[in-house]
């Protein structure tokens, strides 16, 4: 749910960065938005620890406030911000090819969003490969990591920074809420299907691609929003995987003569 909160909370950051820099999707903006994502987690922490507010409420209060603030900013500067409310909610992935990067001599080297998300993908792959052990350890057993002298705060905030980065990049393509579907659904599906972290990561990547492609064709067939169709398709994949684990477990139980493995 913190991913959900971050995806909403970066909105004012994006609007402010847009007002200052006057354009969308430059790298300064990405860095700024990532910082705001980390700030969100800190705000949640402050409400939770300092102001004694229970955690679920801290999350809710933080992200709704920041999102409302972002919408108000958009309304206040309608003339200057090329962001409308619908775009915020479900993106406009169909327009991505209409915004290409042109080199000095006018050569079209492809859509800007493609370049940016490609770069972020690269960053994330490098971070996951390099930080695999640290992320696995601090996620599985933070106390043990601390006992080994490893800084859990570094890994926590580093990870939240990555989440923010992903969110901001996805923002204009799929919008604030559907990015949550992409953050949660493929890994949740993979989590049901495998019990190895490495396999889970590979499977998630595969499911992510499948979601994008499947969603695109679903949108074509139904003539609707691509982002919405992607979320729908991700949900269908999850439902399929869930059903499949239920069925296989049941048959397994029968084969084993009714002995169920714990967990």
Q: What is the rounded distance in angstroms from the CA atom of residue 67 to the CA atom of residue 78?
A: 16
- Residue 25 or 91: the one with the smaller Cβ distance to other proteins is 91
Q: Which of 47, 45, 37 is nearest to 17 (CA)?
A: 37
- Residue 26 or 139: the one with the smaller Cβ distance to other proteins is 139
Q: Is 44 in the site for other proteins (CB under 8 A)?
A: no
Residue 203 CB, nearest approach to other proteins (Å): 10
Q: Is 256 in the site for other proteins (CB under 8 A)?
A: no
- Residue 29 or 183: the one with the smaller Cβ distance to other proteins is 183
Q: Which of 18, 90, 159, 171 binds other proteins (CB under 8 A)?
A: 90
Residue 69 CB, nearest approach to other proteins (Å): 7
Residue 61 CB, nearest approach to other proteins (Å): 5
Residue with tokens 């006992």: 147
Residue 77 CB, nearest approach to other proteins (Å): 10
Q: Backbone phi, then psi, for 91, in 5-degree steps?
A: 65, 180
Q: Is 3 in the site for other proteins (CB under 8 A)?
A: yes
Residue 104 CB, nearest approach to other proteins (Å): 38
Where in 114-173 is the site for other proteins (CB under 8 A)? Answer: 130-131, 133-134, 136-137, 139-141, 143-150
Q: Is 248 in the site for other proteins (CB under 8 A)?
A: no
The stretch near other proteins (CB under 8 A) out of 16-24, 26-34, 117-125, 174-182 is 174-182
Q: Which residues contact 21 (CB under 8 A, 6 or more apart)?
A: 28, 29
The stretch near other proteins (CB under 8 A) out of 56-64, 99-107, 114-122, 159-167 is 56-64
- Residue 95 or 144: the one with the smaller Cβ distance to other proteins is 144
Where in 180-239 is the site for other proteins (CB under 8 A)? Answer: 180-181, 183-185, 188, 191-192, 194-197, 199-200, 218-219, 222-225, 227-232, 234-235, 238
Q: Secondary structure of 59-70 in the HEC alphabet? A: HHHHHHHHHHHH
Q: Is 78 in the site for other proteins (CB under 8 A)?
A: yes
């Amino acid at each position: 749910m913190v991913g959900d909160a971050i995806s909403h909370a970066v909105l004012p950051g994006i609007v402010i960065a847009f007002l200052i820099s006057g354009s969308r999707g430059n790298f300064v903006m990405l860095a700024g938005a990532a910082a705001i994502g980390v700030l969100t987690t800190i705000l949640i922490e402050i409400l939770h620890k300092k102001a004694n507010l229970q955690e679920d409420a801290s999350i809710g209060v933080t992200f709704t406030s920041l999102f409302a603030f972002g919408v108000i900013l958009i309304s206040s500067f309608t003339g200057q911000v090329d962001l409308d409310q619908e775009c915020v909610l479900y993106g406009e992935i169909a327009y991505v090819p209409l915004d290409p990067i042109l080199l000095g001599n006018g050569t079209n080297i492809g859509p800007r969003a493609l370049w940016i998300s490609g770069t972020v993908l690269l960053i994330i792959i490098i971070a996951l490969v390099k930080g695999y052990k640290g992320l696995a350890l601090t996620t599985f057993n933070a106390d043990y990591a601390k006992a080994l002298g490893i800084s859990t705060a570094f890994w926590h905030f580093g990870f939240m920074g990555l989440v923010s980065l992903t969110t901001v990049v996805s923002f204009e393509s799929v919008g604030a809420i559907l990015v949550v579907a992409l953050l949660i659904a493929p890994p949740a599906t993979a989590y049901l299907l495998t019990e190895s972290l490495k396999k889970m990561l590979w499977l998630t990547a595969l499911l992510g691609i499948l979601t994008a492609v499947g969603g695109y064709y679903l949108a074509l067939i139904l003539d609707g929003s691509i982002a919405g169709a992607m979320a729908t398709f991700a949900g269908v994949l999850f439902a399929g995987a869930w059903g499949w684990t239920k069925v296989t477990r049941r048959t397994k139980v029968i084969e084993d003569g009714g002995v169920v493995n714990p967990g």
